Amino acid sequence: MNITVTHAPGQTLDFAGEELRSYLGRMLPDAALRIELKTEPKPGNDAFSVALEPHGGVIAGNSPRAVLLGVYDALRRLGCRFPAPGRANELVPRIGQDALRLRYEKTGAFRHRGVCIEGADSPENIYDFIDWLPKLGYNAFFLQFKTPYAFLERWYLHKNNPSLPPEPFTAGDAERVMVRAEEEIRRRGLLLHKVGHGWTGEVLGYPAVSWNADPRPLPERLRPLAAEIGGVRDLYGGVPANTNLCLSNPDARERFAALVTDYARRNPGVDYLHIWLADAFNNVCECDACRRSTVSDQYVALLNDIDRRLTAEGLPTRLVFLLYQELLWPPVRERLENPDRFVLMFAPISRTFSRSYHTQDTPPIPPYRRNRITLPGDLGENLAFLRGWQAQFPGDSFVYDYPLGRAHYGDLGYVRIAQVIHGDIRRLNDLGLNGYISCQELRAGMPNFLPNYVMGRALFDGEAGFDALAEEYFSAAYGAAAPQALAFLRALSDHSSCDYVNGKGPRQDAGMARRMEQAAALCRRFAAEPPHPCPQDGAVRAGFLERLCYHAQYAGRLAEALAALARGETENAARLRGELAGFIGQNELRFQPWLDVYRLLEITENYTGFPAI
């Protein structure tokens, strides 16, 4: 093999060159060619050009990250497929040197294309997901909190899975994983988003690392900084990250702004720093001074203060502000003074996933009632709040959505939720949004990773149609068995309900019970006559078929439990869910990267309505 890749020095270009040599070396073991990687800096979304011939050529991009994206896109056009995180799941074909005839240009359809960590994750889950992102066209990763302690702790303690004993894990361990994760992000030139949750708890003296309750009492000297609710200032439910502040208190605002400024100064590698309030609603301060304003007005005033401090120190960090819960209501008086500093993030966490976004007329925004709000469920209601903010803020923006955070467990086939994601992305321009970050479990791969595959490809390539993406994915994952696998999972999606599992609608529902019974029957039939791997399809596709057979067993058990719940058979539903928990718990290590046992059981208890096990 004689493959020479030349490029200017730089970490991301070095990595892009290593990747190109490695993959082409497996695809063209006897090749002799010379390829140049180069950057042609220019503003705008990620853009690259590919000009390859059998002797070599050039891959150029408007940034080192764009060059890496161009490398992976060229490899995909040459037949490589990346259907799941982890290099063991890739398909790399042998090709002849004459196949190296590519000449095209591409520009990312949206500026913001990313994923935010959720669920219970091992370090390997995090590193593999970061490695996978640019192969699908994503350009960003969001590590929530100041470290990913919350997500790693859930895994190491094996929460919700008594089949696995807890393992030692410390805050120091989380710091070390964070350092490695950020190194992997920088190596690929990805945009780093950080923090979001935890600022309010840190103002009150608690570490900003998780949603865990803290047994330590709120220090008396800091009690005036906490929101007053029902005449009491204390931790909300014992959870610092869920506790709001008294934003009329100048000391609370000063401590908040100082914390953010210090963090930005110490972490210049953070591209987008998220500034959020508490992760709970109907718990904002009720003191007389706070009642004279709105939470959103106080929030914007705080953001302006932070911006002035960052400007004074010459810090270019972009700040992301959040439309979420009480902050869905636009401010009445305050406006952001320096829009170029900020990015609007619309987070419609209470939306339905029965359909994609639409651009029909939106209803008026309901009056704001302090600590008596109801979160909007209808898509039109959610979009009314977005329109209200957009009328005041003309700057950059993206949606922060949750199809793979809770609702996806209700789509047993994963085809329908992938279609909804694709439809959402197709409507982003109409909504005036410049991208999408998915708040989700990283282990959202049972039965497969089709939703994330569709998401990444559609966010980069605005022309990519859903049916073509699904066909591409299923051919890669299942080979000769692709038609049978797709037919089964489409049928399963048709009988599923994301909204029911996500807690929307009545729990007792005869129609839903029938749908779940039909889904369970589909799973039994598939499990009785599963497709057999074709020898020439190889080990990767055999693994996908093995997981599909396991999925039929897991999804059948879940459907039976959901059917019992919808019939109103509480004890039977609890028993069946307990059997499901035992089954997936005992098999978790075997299918660890593909199904998040902790998160599935948490969602079905806290949202779907199953009794606690």
pLDDT of residue 613: 74
Please compute the mean of the pLDDT values over residues 335-340 and round it to a whole number: 98
pLDDT tens profile 368-410: 999 999 999 888 999 999 999 999 999 999 999 999 999 999 9
Buried b (16+ CB within 10 A) or exposed e, 306-326: bbebbeeeeeebbbbbbbbbb
First to last CA, the chain: 58
pLDDT band at 565 (very low <50, low <70, confident <90, very high): very high
pLDDT score of 96 more than 80 = yes
Could you state, in order of their start, the residue ranges of all structural domains in the chain?
A: 2-107, 478-608
Angle CA 320–307–185, to nearest 5:
45
pLDDT band at 31 (very low <50, low <70, confident <90, very high): confident
Please compute the mean of the pLDDT values over residues 149-158 and round it to a whole number: 98
pLDDT score of 159 more than 70 = yes
Residue with tokens 């997901």: 129
pLDDT score of 505 more than 80 = yes
pLDDT of residue 532: 87
pLDDT score of 504 more than 80 = yes
Measured CA to CA, the distance from residue 508 to residue 570 in angstroms comes to 10
- Residue 353 near residue 499 (C-beta atoms within 8 A): yes
pLDDT tens profile 232-263: 999 999 999 999 999 999 999 999 999 999 99
pLDDT of residue 602: 97
pLDDT of residue 29: 86
pLDDT of residue 1: 66
108 against 611, higher pLDDT:
108
Please compute the mean of the pLDDT values over residues 60-83 and round it to a whole number: 98
pLDDT tens profile 249-301: 999 999 999 999 999 999 999 999 999 999 999 999 999 999 999 999 999 99
**Average confidence score pLDDT of the chain:** 97
Measured CA to CA, the distance from residue 247 to residue 446 in angstroms comes to 43
Angle CA 589–419–114, to nearest 5:
65
Going by the DSSP 8-state scheme, the letter that residue 222 receives in this structure is: G
pLDDT of residue 535: 87
Measured CA to CA, the distance from residue 143 to residue 117 in angstroms comes to 6
Measured CA to CA, the distance from residue 323 to residue 404 in angstroms comes to 19
pLDDT band at 584 (very low <50, low <70, confident <90, very high): very high
Q: According to the CATH classification, is domain 2-107 in 3.30.70.141?
A: no
pLDDT score of 191 more than 90 = yes
pTM for the full predicted model: 0.97
pLDDT of residue 359: 75
**Phi and psi based region of residue 237 (left: phi greater than 0; alpha: psi -120 to 50; beta: remaining):** left
pLDDT score of 474 more than 90 = yes
pLDDT of residue 612: 81
Nearest by Cα to 563 from 593, 521, 601: 521
Nearest by Cα to 455 from 437, 477, 441: 437
Measured CA to CA, the distance from residue 439 to residue 497 in angstroms comes to 20
